[in-house]
Amino acid sequence: MATNGTELSFAESARQIAENARYIAGGANSNFRLGMAGGPLVFERGEGPYLHDADGNRLIDYYCAMGATVLGHTPGPVLEAVRKQSEKGILYAGQAPIEYEAAKLICERIPCAERLRFGSSGSEVAQAAMRLARAFTGRNSIVKFEGHYHGWFDNILWSTAPGLNAAGPEDAPTPVIGSKGQDPAAGEGLSILGWNDLAVLEARLAKGDVAAVLMEPAMCNQGAIAPAPGYLEGALAACRKHGALLIFDEVITGFRLARGGAQERFGVTPDLCIMAKAIANGFPVAAIAGRADVIDLFADGVLHGGTFNAQPMVMAALVATQTMLTPEHYARSSVNGQRLQDGIRAILAEEGIKAQVGGFPLMFHVAFGLDQPARNYRDVARADKATYVRFAHALLKRGVRALERGAWFVSSEHDAGVVDATLEAVRGAAREVKAAA
């Protein structure tokens, strides 16, 4: 329902998707944009915290471009910096001062970043990180965790959201492949473990063959789960002891949990980290950063390429974004994000919907049906997803776009008034879902 009480229609989006499925598979350019209740949407433009869709609806947007737009959809200084840079030509296949400025800023801000290389997507720099770790250690195995996502490539798209019927025992998960057509052999170097369990990780590392432990330092693709006290410290110590590198995937947590990412927030500095999404507020920039002795292998035999790497316009977007990510930005946005999170928790409780609402001020998660906060993927997987999808759809009909997997991303543009309007929609959606139960 819009504020005047009528239910929003998405008929024109549906028409355009159907028509253009003639040219684009499924009518969308990422599988993560397909399959949601109400159908995938077509947007005409963004504006601060809002998206305007093809039906003329103005939606309050909590997808935030899957976490990227930490400054909202139209931050003036970022757009202006890109426009100015575009006047200097498009791509040089050489170096530009703006990429050195960008690199210096990130190295100053990210605790582990002695050196870095830029790329264009999180999936791609995850590959670079694993290659680097294998070259540095001379080992092949990579440890990843159930429910963590590090991109869509064959060697890492395993057990990202496995069905519990296929996932095997919690203390020894069965690796579950992520896509039809994926090469099963590409997963042979991979060990899948449950996250937030130090004893299990230590036991695996003790075998002495692990090149790297790759993790989301706070689990944000499934839930919004902080590491257990001592877990990150213990993981780092165990990696040191057994000669493996610790890699934090800060593609979501970077510039969101704190300006210096989860590593700053939790005070644990990994050997390497990867970043993307919010680093340039939605412009296609990714980075792999870390220890100089590891990253420097890129200049000494480990191949890393990419026609679009450090494209000057997106580097200008990065510098302008980072300039806007001040301590005041985090203080102000966090107040609004926390009020939203607390408000949703209170309304769901008042309306008699059992839920866990938790996480971080600028990224939190709502799971229906759980008695306790989730600690790992197995807990999240037990949530009542079907009812939550109905809730997300009820929100959409009221002008609020939130991810069906329960994640909420907050930007600097979600101010007090936007939060108030959102909470009103949350109340209505909660009542609708409750009434239908």
Ligand X SMILES: Cc1ncc(COP(=O)(O)O)c(C=O)c1O
Cα–Cα dist 259/54, whole Å = 35
261 near ligand X, rule: CB under 6 A:
no
d(CA 243, CA 205): 9
Which amino acid does the sequence have at 71? L
Q: Applying CB under 6 A, does 216 fall inside the site for ligand X?
A: yes
Q: Can you tell me which of 249, 264, 271, 379 binds ligand X, judged by CB under 6 A?
A: 249
- From CA 372, how far away is CA 15, in angstroms rounded? 42
Pick the stretch among 116-124, 169-177, 368-376, 377-385 that binds ligand X (CB under 6 A): 116-124
Instruction: Establish whether 249 is a catalytic residue.
Output: yes
Q: Which of 78, 430, 118 is nearest to 288 (CA)?
A: 118
CB atoms inside a 10 Å sphere around CB 70? 29
Question: Closer CB to ligand X, residue 48 or residue 217?
Answer: 217
Nearer to ligand X, 252 or 310 (CB): 252
Interaction of residue 122 with ligand X, rule CB under 6 A:
yes
149 is catalytic: yes
Residues forming beta bridges with residue 210, ordered by sequence position = 141
CB-based contacts of 352: which residues, under 8 Å, 6+ apart? Answer: 434
Residue 44 φ/ψ, nearest 5 degrees = -85, -40
Considering CB under 6 A, how many residues would be counted as binding ligand X?
14
Residue 213 exposed, middle or buried by CB count within 10 Å (0-12, 13-18, 19+): buried
Shortest distance, position 308 Cβ to ligand X, whole Å: 13
- Residue 192 interacting with ligand X (CB under 6 A): no
Contact status: 66 vs ligand X (CB under 6 A): yes
**Interface with ligand X, residue 359, by CB under 6 A:** no
Selected catalytic residue, list 144, 277, 330, 377: 277
Cβ closest to ligand X, residue 10 vs residue 248: 248
> Rule CB under 6 A: is residue 218 a binding residue for ligand X?
no
Q: Is 92 a catalytic residue?
A: no
Asked if residues 120 and 279 have their Cβ atoms less than 8 Å apart, the reply is no
Residue type, 327: P
- Nearest approach, Cβ of residue 133 and ligand X (Å): 16
Complete DSSP assignment for 297-322: GGGTT-----TTTT-HHHHHHHHHHH
Asked whether position 251 contacts ligand X by CB under 6 A, the answer is yes
Tally of CB atoms within 10 A around 188: 11
Active-site entry in 149, 231, 377, 388: 149
Q: In the complex with ligand X, which residue's Cβ is closer, 121 or 387?
A: 121
Among 13, 69, 123, 281, interactor with ligand X by CB under 6 A? 123
Q: Is 404 in the site for ligand X (CB under 6 A)?
A: no
Q: Closer CB to ligand X, residue 381 or residue 433? A: 381
365 touches ligand X by CB under 6 A = no
Separation in Å, CA 322 to CA 105, 108, 256, 281, 300: 8, 11, 12, 9, 30
CB of 264 to ligand X, least distance (A): 17
- Residues forming contacts to ligand X in the complex (CB under 6 A) are 66, 121-123, 126, 149-151, 216, 221, 249, 251-252, 276
Residues with a catalytic annotation lie at 149, 249, 277
